[in-house]
A and B are shown apart, each in its own frame.
Chain A
Amino acid sequence: MTGSWLDTSVRGLLHQALDVYRDNPRATGHIHDHLARLDQPLRVAVVGRWRSGKSTLLNALLGEEVAPVDGNAFTWYEDGPQPDATAYSAHHPPQRLAVLRSGTGMRVDLAGWRTGELSDIVVRWPARSLRQVTLLDTPPVGVDEHARDPVLERVLREADAMLYLTRDARGADLRVLQRTREGAVGQAAAVHIILVLSRVDESGGGRVDALLGARQRARRALRDPHLDALCVTAVACSGLLGLAGRVLGEADFAGLAALAQVPRAELEPYLLSAERFARSEPPVPLDAATRSALLDRLGVVGVRLATTLARTGHRSRTALSAELVRHAGLSELRESINRLLVDRRTVLKARSALVGMETLLRGEPAPGAEELLATVEQILAGAHEFQESRLLAALRSSRLGFDAESTQEARRLVGGDGDSPAARLGIAPDAQLAQLWEAAADARWRWQERAVDPALPLAQRRGAQVVARSCEGMLAELAAHAR
């Protein structure tokens, strides 16, 4: 029922819209784009204000250093057989760009282009992480707080989901994010935004435990109802450390291992500041070039963290790498992206199609557009999938306070482990209809009871309501099958 129902109704809506706008070539082109987008990989935009760490995080997600190309262009990262890049601009035909490979990534040669001239750069890059997701690096948003933001508007139009990077999750950052809640679809549940507390390695006065503190901050941020309404979940992540972990080379590791040999008290003065580390000669043989490379790669906080990790048992490159990635919060972020965005691809795709349709129908009135707008609202009202997505996110961050068993069952029932009724009910796929029915009815009763149990906290009751509603949906679907 999930996904499929929403998907079917959205496709139906798009075909109806094609009929309504059959005399309007621009609108039909638009609708065809949306139809095509439904089958393309999920587009995830990395959005943030100026210097919020967008490109670094994007590199960390790709696991390679695909250097930031142009601060004013939208850069699309797609899967491709071999690296290549194409530049699109308003006044020139698309043009291939030279790609220079480096040890840990590549660099796109932008010679001959003025800043601001390019509107889009499409980079094709063979990476596993790009199979299902197209990543989108954007120019900074929220430059002028009072005007409409063209970048944000384009992101809302063209991306299916976004990672919103913020350093402190309040003030001006949130005001930018508020703008995403425009239109009927925007007012519906926010399932497409993951809030990322970025550059967390620099917070907390540069202490090694800054990352743990940041994780707590992310969890606390979600308790703020304003923030909770704006995003599906919040994750703390240091793009710099994550990237360092993913591309950590042998030379770097050797340097870190050497540093870890030095007793802590003896090493500390050298790690007090970045400048000290770069300038003064530490008690181990480590040349200035390596030190500066380490500093570039990890930052002084990262060097401190990495040496501490290396000292406490992570003695191989891979172990240190993995630990850095975990510490940086990158693995949690990737997991969140996979579970909440990629797995819910159909829902997000349908959502962006609805957004596009709403804009089109409101912007270009045509006979019949009113009825279609009503259909959009009808689909929104019937789309339980958004609630499920949000519940899944809440279950992931265990902020509802369900015990482990209930959490797991709830996740399964709302489609976190698979979309078919059997997967949802946790029954063998070849089970009889009657068996499925019985299990679904049983689950429905149990969760319904929970939803009205006055002893439970409100958040749990709300969650239970969503689960019960999912069960009802399954029952309805099974009944339809039986007929």
Chain B
Amino acid sequence: MVAGIWLDVLDDIARTCQEHNRNDLLQAVRLKRAHLLDPTLTVLIVGEANQGKSQLVNAIVTAPVCPVGDNRTTVLPTVVRHAEAISATVVQTPVPAPGTLATVATTVERHPVPTEQVAAGVAGGVGRRPGGGPAYVEIGVPRRLLGAGVVLVDTPGSDDLPSANTGTPVTSLARADAVLLVTDSTRDLSATELTMLLHLTRAHANVIVVQTKTDLVPDWRAVADRNRRHLVDAGVPATLIPVSAALRLHAAATDDHALNAESGFPALIARIRHDLAGKSDLLAPASVAMIARTVIEQLAAPLRAELESQQSTEESAPLARLHAAQREVDELRRCSTRWQNTLTDEMADLLSDIEYDLRDRTRHILKMVDEAFETADPLVAWDTVQTWLTRSLVEAAEANRQWLTLRCEHVARRVAEAFTRYGHGVLPPWPLVTPPAHRAPPPEIERPTVERFTVGQKVFTGMKGSYGGLLMFGLALTLAGMPMINPISISAGALFGGKSIRDEGRQLLRRRQATVKAAVQRHVDDFFVRVSKESRDTARQVQRVLRDHFAALTDELQAGIVESLRTAKKAADTDAAARERRQHEIMRRMSRLAAVYEQAQQVAGTRPAPLAARP
């Protein structure tokens, strides 16, 4: 018996679900198994409103069991099954408490409805407790077809799809063995209906399109042909059976076999009987194949997604950390070059600036001294000038040094900037510039030796000058008969003598001034050399301190980063291995799923459709 084979396959699918820890799917598969073993044939009747669904049910059982009318007459789903006598019951399953499975609801409320109130019951008016969960009407009719095990389920008309898991369980697709989509002959299949059909055929193996109301339309055959073409165009593998409920009911009333044949119902009923007889042999394998397809697609979807995500996002966390650590190392290398360059550049700048500053200051002092001795007599002014000079030089040296200190700190900060991304506290210990421990006091400037204009020199010079004048004028006046020594010549001599003394004094002053200037110049030069040497030493020292400090810092950072790089690398290696293992696992599971699928397809006797689940 074939039943054995598809049962095995179904059990195999159930096991696979278990392996994948998918209890929801397992539940569905178990339900399907129970359902397929059940010999009754459930026929679900769906379609848009006012297409004649209830009338179709009535015509199949040839009894007015479902109320028909213009407006929305069917509100509750109606289940028509065999019974010895006509009976009607509103069945309501209580709302399942959250957390429990809906399928294990044990208590079902049943309210018998008097047969004359069936219409109200189906319209949802009678026997239903408000808020009591999904309800349906069960109608029992004594009919041979139903007695053979056919159950008809009439649903409220809807533009939407009957969904597989929501709504009342009786109308769920999973419980149906055949689905009849009802459309009337007054128009072609609409786009909505075709979409609905596409969804139905994807979820169900046995879909039949029933074209009702053929009695109303003379050219229903043309409509049927067009509908068949629509089905083929849309790729819907469903057969189309045109029927007329009115003719069938009339035929039943008048017992007119010809009319019954004309109604098209024999074809439909034959199809239903054929399905009933072949449920286990034909329908079941097909529906096993279908459920295999859906279950395996659902199982494969997360696996595939995982695989894809692994393949696409190479950046797993450990790997990302490794890359970050590598970037960090590079960054540190760049940083160390950067700070070394900064330090050298800044220091060179600093030295030249400091030297220039000192030279500028001393030149200024020299200029002042020169100006002072342009007029002043060193003999008189020396002491004042000396005090001023000493003070000025000390001030200049102090100012220059202060600036040096500031500049050094600035350089330290500039270099530390390269380390900002590693946090604060990277400045070297303060103060950078230590004042020289034994700072020799600036040497005193010794008083330059200056020539004085002594009295004797003055007399001598005066005599020399007056001699010339006396002689010049005396001789000239002798010609006028005056004596050589006369008052005029004497006064001229005195005049000339005085001038000589003045001239000599001025000359001496100039010489003195020059001497002093030269002495000061020398002194200042000495001072400059000494102080600039000091500054240079200080700067070098600072540079050394900074270099040592930042080099130590870099080493420290590098040690940390390299350590983290090492750990990241290790983690990444482990991760890659784990990933590889997982990929293998997924591949293995996928191939297993594919095998189960193929098996199911073989049972169904169809050639396996290309499985989307395959990786």
Contacts from A to B (Cβ < 8 Å): 50-51, 143, 167-168, 170-172, 199, 202-206, 210, 213-214, 216-217, 220, 269, 272-278, 292, 295-296, 299-301
Contact = CB atoms under 8 A, between A and B. Distances in A.
Contacts of A275: 214-215, 218, 220, 262
Contacts of A199: 186
Nearest to A296: B218
A296 B52 CA distance: 23
Interface string B250-266: 10000000010010000
Contact of B70 (A172, A217, A269, A295): A217
Contacts of A171: 48-49, 158-159
Contacts of A213: 69-70
B60 to A, nearest CB: 15
B68 interface: yes
Nearest to B187: A51
A273 B191 contact: no
A275 to B, nearest CB: 6
B213 interface: yes
B334 to A, nearest CB: 54
Interface centre among A199, A203, A292 (most CB of B within 10 A): A203
B348 interface: no
19 contacts: A168-B49, A170-B72, A171-B48, A171-B159, A172-B159, A202-B186, A202-B213, A205-B245, A213-B69, A214-B70, A217-B71, A272-B246, A273-B215, A273-B244, A273-B262, A274-B220, A292-B218, A296-B218, A301-B216
A273 B55 CA distance: 16
Nearest to B71: A217
B124 to A, nearest CB: 16
A240 to B, nearest CB: 11
B50 A167 contact: yes
A74 B140 CA distance: 53
A199 B184 CA distance: 13
Contacts of B182: none
Name the 4 nearest CB pairs between A and B, nearest first: A273-B215, A274-B218, A51-B187, A171-B159
Nearest to B218: A274
A151 to B, nearest CB: 15
Contacts of A300: 215-216, 218
B190 interface: yes
B192 interface: yes
Nearest to A299: B216
Contacts of A220: 71
A205 B246 contact: yes
B49 A272 contact: no
Given A168-B49, A205-B52, A274 B68 contact: no
B438 to A, nearest CB: 86
Contacts of A143: 191
A213 B69 CA distance: 8
A199 B70 CA distance: 12
Nearest to A145: B192
A203 B49 CA distance: 11
A204 B70 contact: yes
Nearest to A291: B218
B324 interface: no
A241 to B, nearest CB: 13
A292 B216 CA distance: 13
Contacts, number: 78
Interface string B406-445: 0000000000000000000000000000000000000000
Contacts of B247: 272-273
B157 to A, nearest CB: 8
A233 B264 CA distance: 40
Interface of A is mostly: helix
B246 A273 contact: yes
Given A199-B186, A202-B186, A206-B246, A274 B217 contact: yes
Interface of B: 48-50, 52, 55, 68-72, 158-159, 184, 186-188, 190-192, 213-218, 220, 244-247, 250, 259, 262
Nearest to A213: B70
B215 A274 contact: yes
A51 B223 CA distance: 13
Contact of A272 (B48, B72, B259): B259
A331 B187 CA distance: 26
A277 B187 CA distance: 20
A292 B250 CA distance: 23
Contacts of B262: 273, 275-276
Contacts of A168: 49-50
A273 B49 contact: no
A167 B158 CA distance: 14
A220 B245 CA distance: 27
B159 A206 contact: no
A217 B190 CA distance: 24
A210 B49 CA distance: 16
Contacts of B69: 204, 213
Given A51-B186, A275-B262, A278-B218, 15 more contacts: A50-B187, A51-B188, A171-B159, A199-B186, A202-B216, A205-B245, A206-B213, A272-B259, A273-B214, A273-B244, A273-B262, A274-B215, A274-B220, A300-B218, A301-B216
Contacts of B250: 272
B196 to A, nearest CB: 12
A292 B218 CA distance: 9
B246 A210 contact: no
A204 B246 CA distance: 11
Which of B69, B70, B187, B244 has the most chain A CB atoms closer than 10 A to its own CB?
Answer: B70
Contact of A210 (B70, B159, B190, B244): B70
A269 B251 CA distance: 10
Contacts of B158: 171
A50 B215 contact: no
A220 B72 CA distance: 12
A274 B216 CA distance: 6
B49 A170 contact: yes
Contacts of A296: 218
A299 B213 CA distance: 13
Contacts of B186: 51, 199, 202
Contacts of B188: 51
Contacts of B216: 202, 206, 273-274, 299-301
B215 A206 contact: yes
Contacts of B70: 203-204, 210, 213-214, 216-217
Of A199, A213, A274, A300, most buried by chain B (CB within 10 Å of CB) is A274
A213 B184 CA distance: 19
A168 to B, nearest CB: 5
Contacts of B50: 167-168, 203
Nearest to A170: B49
B180 to A, nearest CB: 18
A272 B191 contact: no
A220 B262 CA distance: 37
A89 B215 CA distance: 41
Contacts of B218: 274-275, 277-278, 292, 295-296, 300
B68 A205 contact: yes
A375 B373 CA distance: 97
Of the candidates A143, A171, A216, A299, the one having the most CB atoms from chain B within 10 angstroms of its own CB is A171
A275 B246 CA distance: 13
B507 to A, nearest CB: 97
A272 B214 CA distance: 10
Contacts of B245: 205
A277 B214 CA distance: 13
Contacts of A278: 218
A55 to B, nearest CB: 14
A167 B72 CA distance: 12
A275 B213 CA distance: 12
B276 to A, nearest CB: 28
A299 B52 CA distance: 18
A167 B245 CA distance: 20
A297 to B, nearest CB: 12
Contacts of B246: 205-206, 272-273
Contacts of A204: 69-70
